[in-house]
Structure 1
């Protein structure tokens, strides 16, 4: 007999003896892999693919349990650093709203199959009734099979990065075989027939019927193929609202790790923005979006590696607020410089509660107050959780 004591960071059950066990919940008693005493938080998984697919980890738990657990992951990370603050109720994206995903495809004896890998394996699982993906992606599964036949050799597996845009699907095929000129024409015709916005091959555009635009609070951008995009439209709105609240009425804003303008362009409705990002293609996208938008204040877009060359306190003297949204590793070096600055407000966005807590401790030790944290769950049924937070200089309260 084993009793599940807690969940680890992957959402696996940690028993009193033995290795972690997937799809278990605290308090459950297990006997030789069989649940003897189920948790009252256990529910029937809403997706018929759940047992075989590796795309979700938490469909066996009630929504209330998952919300509380993800909130506690954030709280635990902060508590480990001695930090206490208001943690707001989590905002969770609805089912079937995932607008960006990496699928995989491979050829079979009868044709092709497309889906997600099984949990901890290289077995590909078809997911025609996925409860996570946007319906527009599911409707395109027959096209993904056609593109797999064109892209994959007999034994290779190809990646299919797909995003939902205003003008249709934006697809970047990864690790596909090289296309001859004739094959490019055939692929372009296929994309036209399925009314894709854009089809790319390892980042190179093969066909574009219409620009695959994304709308950031009225400013429209066309990201490079495969570029980062918030996983759900609802999650993007939740994070953007929190960022807007955190920066307040600032008139001079610096957006660090700005991407292609998710937060910069909405902020430019009220403030001049200095946007910094290491990826030149993303900065070009951001700048183009600003130039084509109406009624935005000035946005200065700059290519800069903030890990190697963080923004220094002297450069922030005229800045009223900073937005910072680093990768999972966080932004330790940049946080040190922010802690030494006099910027009144910081809006922090993070996809990693552990690195966020580390960076938050740096800011607090430098004289900032962590006023609140807003958890955002746009990776529904996974173990991932994101957050936005507001820091202010201590004298501001």
Structure 2
């Protein structure tokens, strides 16, 4: 008996209408009685030679239509679990090779340096020779890093590499190596000059130590250069950031006074009209936003505040015409419980976890907010990671 794959589950397996699962199957594929997948119209040839072994991608076998459908289904399923429905717009998909930040692993094995992502559900490392998700500037640094790390990474040890595209070039933080002495300093300086590295830092477990930064590293947000602390959080792609900012601006409309909660470096605070209060628990991030806003003369008031332990109260929320939320994966339950009783006309909620978003959305809707629409964003291309922006209104 042959069954058709009708959807893709949260972890990437194809599922038939009668509940059979098949790895690396796309909607429209046929699953034979023996478990063989017969490719259908939405099953594309994966572009990368490392797929499906490399854990950096899970869904390269899906064409754009079925990948967008996967994103929409993830969100719709999370909402349905909370008894919610709303308009889910077509996902905004980031193109291949646009990821501007990534964390890679490096290891010394059998006398050679390997750099890449771990295999799916494994600690084994895939030594990447190509990558269809990393921005070209990031991938261009992989081969030179093999040569540099050969000096510092020995004896089957591993290191973690954090690469980010900053305004001045690549910001590189390496965890798990030691590089002491004049020869090491000269090697690092030569590497950075040769390959256009904006900042080079090493973390041996006591925090990042900068070894190279000829000029202060910044990231431009909302047209404002913001000082960038080590290993800062940024939206994964510029296209994804632009889609989320556009959705947030639409969600709040022409609000005059806005609270940006979990503000980070100011991705939204520096792109919003009117006066903005920005609350953030990460001290380095909020100080960077404060300095950048002051230098650009933007009307942004910043506060170093842990919104899990000390959320804005309902009375404090009522001082604003709109509120923007961009919490981590756990969501913003403590803050949302305060918001549910507030009279704020509009809320724009940005989430990287449909499940925690749906839980928070249910709390807001019980407080008589209406979930107007959701804009999905697929900036972690070909992964099962889903992001979204949504509008709630009174």
Alpha-carbon deviations, 1:5-29, whole Å to 9, x = none? 6432111234689995431234531
Alignment partner, residue 11 of structure 2:
10
Write the distance in 2 (CA, Å) between the matches of 1:245 and 1:385. 20
Alpha-carbon deviations, 1:335-360, whole Å to 9, x = none? 10001111111110001111111101
Write the distance in 2 (CA, Å) between the matches of 1:159 and 1:84. 41
Alignment partner, residue 278 of structure 1:
281
Alignment partner, residue 230 of structure 2:
225
Alignment partner, residue 369 of structure 2:
368
Q: TM-score, normalised by structure 1?
A: 0.92
Write the distance in 2 (CA, Å) between the matches of 1:20 and 1:137. 36
Alignment partner, residue 296 of structure 2:
293
Write the distance in 2 (CA, Å) between the matches of 1:173 and 1:59. 29
Give yes or no for the alignment of 1:246 onto 2:251.
yes
Which 10-residue stretch deviates more, 74-83 or 180-189? Answer: 180-189
- C-alpha contact (below 8 Å) 1:254/1:275 kept by paired residues: yes
- C-alpha contact (below 8 Å) 2:22/2:31 kept by paired residues: no
Alignment partner, residue 149 of structure 1:
150
Alignment partner, residue 338 of structure 1:
339
Aligned pairs (5 A) from 1:344-359: 344-359=345-360
Q: Secondary structure at 1:117's aligned position in 2?
A: coil
Q: CA deviation at 1:52?
A: 2.5
Write the distance in 1 (CA, Å) between the matches of 2:7 and 2:199. 45
Contiguous gaps of at least 5 residues in structure 2? none
- C-alpha contact (below 8 Å) 2:324/2:347 kept by paired residues: yes
Alignment partner, residue 118 of structure 1:
119
Q: CA deviation at 1:38?
A: 2.6
Alignment partner, residue 159 of structure 1:
160
Write the distance in 1 (CA, Å) between the matches of 2:377 and 2:200. 31
Q: TM-score, normalised by structure 2?
A: 0.92
Write the distance in 1 (CA, Å) between the matches of 2:147 and 2:288. 30
Alignment partner, residue 260 of structure 1:
265
Aligned pairs (5 A) from 1:85-234: 85-177=86-178, 179-180=180-181, 183-202=184-203, 203-234=208-239
User: 4+ runs of 1 displaced by more than 6 Å?
Assistant: 15-19
Alpha-carbon deviations, 1:80-105, whole Å to 9, x = none? 21212111111100111111111111
Alignment partner, residue 85 of structure 2:
84
Q: 1:391 to 1:344 in 2, by over 3 A?
A: same
Alpha-carbon deviations, 1:332-387, whole Å to 9, x = none? 11110001111111110001111111101111111111111101110111111110
- C-alpha contact (below 8 Å) 1:199/1:208 kept by paired residues: yes
Q: CA deviation at 1:138?
A: 1.5
